[in-house]
Amino acid sequence: MNEEKQQEQMIEMTASEMLRNARTTGRRKREIATIAKLLCIREDFLTALEEGNYRIIPEDVYILGFARNYAVELGLDPDEVIAKLKRELGMVSEETKEEEKNVQPKQPIKINKELFLQWYKTSFDYVKKHWVWFASGAAALLVLILLIALLSGNTKTDTQNVANNNDAAAAVVVKEPDFRYPVREKFEVKNRKESRVVLQAEKESWVKIEDARGNSVFSRVLVPGDVYYMPANDKFKATFGNVGAMDVWVDGQLIKKLGPANTKKSGISMAPDALKSVGFAD
């Protein structure tokens, strides 16, 4: 019964109340100063999250990033906290919420057994009656396939050799960087085997990666030691809240900083060749 009441209270709480309640109640009460040092987030920002005073934090993306990291550290469901926070900030319209509630599950397709049997019998009788036509068609198709195979066999070997040579010239050996800082958490590890560009945060920085159409594929505040593996594609661009706080590795080599510390920079091409043109670090 106590668990049910607790769940009802959590549903009624705002995002800020959930964070403050998780930190100050239960067996493991914690101080904001301790968590701020652990997450590398300013104490006044964490206090603002607990008090719902979001104007102190400069941008919405920072609010959501800090809140997600804070929720994870406090043992809360980050998706639930972020969903509430978006509603409170007006990022999710009431119409969208009503549409989500009114979505009906798709009904399974029903097959009329009698009609199916009737179609099957009619088709079988037709094939049986005109089996000579079908046999002739199958034989003609087989002859055509054999002719195509013979004509293409002479050029197949040469084509394969050219393709293999091109693949060998284009192949790049992806090397895991020798990171300068202890790794804290890795993101998009699924890209690890083919990722030619790898990021590691030296200091706290917001990172946003967009594809060629401008769609966001990654947006998060990275804290010191966090690693992000870029997808293997030359069309991605990045925005850094603190560009000077980011180590960028290309094919296992560290390049020079993409800008000064404490500076926001947008529209940076993440193509390996474009990044190499910046030059490698000493």
Residue 260 confidence (pLDDT): 93
**How many whole angstroms separate alpha carbon 37 and alpha carbon 45?**
12
> Which fold is adopted by the domain 2-101?
434 Repressor (Amino-terminal Domain) (1.10.260)
Confidence tier at 104 by pLDDT (50, 70, 90) = low
End-to-end CA distance of the chain: 63
**Mean pLDDT on 103-125:** 67
**How many whole angstroms separate alpha carbon 203 and alpha carbon 181?**
10
Within 10 angstroms of residue 173's Cβ, the number of other Cβ atoms is: 7
Structural contact between residues 209 and 250, judged by C-beta atoms closer than 8 angstroms: no
**Beta sheet of 205-210, edge-to-edge order:** 216-222, 205-210, 237-240, 265-269
Residue 237 confidence (pLDDT): 93
pLDDT for residue 79 is more than 90: yes
Q: What is the pLDDT of residues 226-275, one digit of tens each?
A: 999 999 888 899 999 899 999 999 999 999 999 998 899 999 999 999 99
Domain with CATH 1.10.260.40 in the chain: 2-101
* Helices and strands (H, E) in the chain, number of each type: 10, 9
Residue 145 confidence (pLDDT): 92
Structural contact between residues 262 and 227, judged by C-beta atoms closer than 8 angstroms: no
Confidence tier at 1 by pLDDT (50, 70, 90) = very low
Residue 168 confidence (pLDDT): 42
pLDDT, mean over the chain: 81
Q: What is the pLDDT of residues 180-233, one digit of tens each?
A: 999 999 999 999 889 999 999 998 888 999 998 888 889 888 999 999 999 988
Which helix (H) or strand (E) segment is 239 a member of? strand 237-240
**How many whole angstroms separate alpha carbon 200 and alpha carbon 148?**
53
Structure tokens at 91: 């990022």
